[in-house]
Homo-oligomer: A and B are copies of this chain.
């Protein structure tokens, strides 16, 4: 796993993934006490950065293998990314989703052409289910983060951040990344190491689901005790990935945590100040920028809004915090 793989992924993504801009608002700067720059991956195809990794992985497959179809397990955003990437590669996709995933994500994944299979998060093992169906049907498993091509795809976000940060002359900024399994975080960290090495990449997680933060502190992979029961569903994972953790351990600054209410407030600020729809997990990094300012060193902060796939009822809850 190295920067050359990310640059190769960027070439494969050209003309397929969206090149998202870097946004800002003086109102957010005021709250955060420093300049805040937003990488809005909610504007990416399928409403999250996951399309990058999915496209990267599918476009790297041997065409004969790709033609047989792919399978993925996902709470929603990776699902939609794989479903659309598969449809555009004119192949089939099967997506294993938790039964309690947001309805919008389940509906979208089906509408994008995937076959959706639901499972129970607490009693069933998604890895086991995925592996079994993959083997039965000859499908290629596209893991959500422990896949070099997926990490490379997510890392293209980091190439763009580095390019824009360099154009703005940003030095020593904190790059806050909404972090689940660490695919986006490790990909961005590798890209920044190469192209903007003064930037400090830091994962942001929900309180009580801070496996990456604790793993970085201890130097070994730590698990979460629970894997459900938080509105930031997109970034709740059992533990950091075997591939992503060593990269994050080598390159990332310390982790930050935010509360559910802070995620909702950050969604409201994204609505009001950026005109963006963020989902709770996608607003985690913005929440840290706004509400953990004493834990941030840089005079500027770059935050990912990693996704915007949120049900209207949940979004209304965020607006109610205003």
A positions within 8 Å CB-CB of B: 18-21, 23, 26-27, 40, 42-43, 47, 84, 104, 108, 111-112, 268, 271-272, 274-278, 308, 312, 315-316, 319-320, 322
Contact = CB atoms under 8 A, between A and B. Distances in A.
A26 B111 CA distance: 9
A177 to B, nearest CB: 18
A316 B19 CA distance: 30
Contacts of A319: 312, 315-316
Nearest to A44: B275
7 contacts: A18-B23, A43-B276, A104-B272, A271-B312, A275-B277, A275-B308, A315-B319
A186 to B, nearest CB: 24
Contacts of A108: 27
A40 B43 CA distance: 11
Nearest to A19: B21
A111 B268 CA distance: 18
Contact of A271 (B40, B112, B274, B315): B315
A271 B277 contact: yes
Copy tally for this chain in the complex stands at 2
B42 A275 contact: yes
Given A272-B104, A312-B319, A319-B312, A43 B21 contact: yes
Contacts of A23: 18, 43
B21 A275 contact: no
Nearest to A20: B21
The 3 closest A-B pairs by CB, nearest first: A275-B308, A312-B319, A275-B277
Contacts of A26: 84, 111-112
A218 B308 CA distance: 45
Contacts of A18: 21, 23
A285 to B, nearest CB: 16
A116 to B, nearest CB: 16
Contacts of A277: 271, 275-277
Contacts of A19: 21
A33 to B, nearest CB: 16
A80 to B, nearest CB: 11
Nearest to A279: B275
A276 B47 CA distance: 10
A312 B308 contact: no
Nearest to A318: B312
Given A42-B275, A271-B312, A312-B320, 15 more contacts: A20-B21, A21-B21, A26-B111, A27-B108, A43-B274, A43-B276, A47-B275, A271-B315, A275-B277, A275-B308, A277-B277, A312-B322, A315-B319, A316-B316, A316-B319
Nearest to A23: B43
Give the most central of A104, A275, A276, A319: most B CB within 10 Å.
A275
Nearest to A88: B26
B276 A275 contact: yes
Nearest to A322: B312
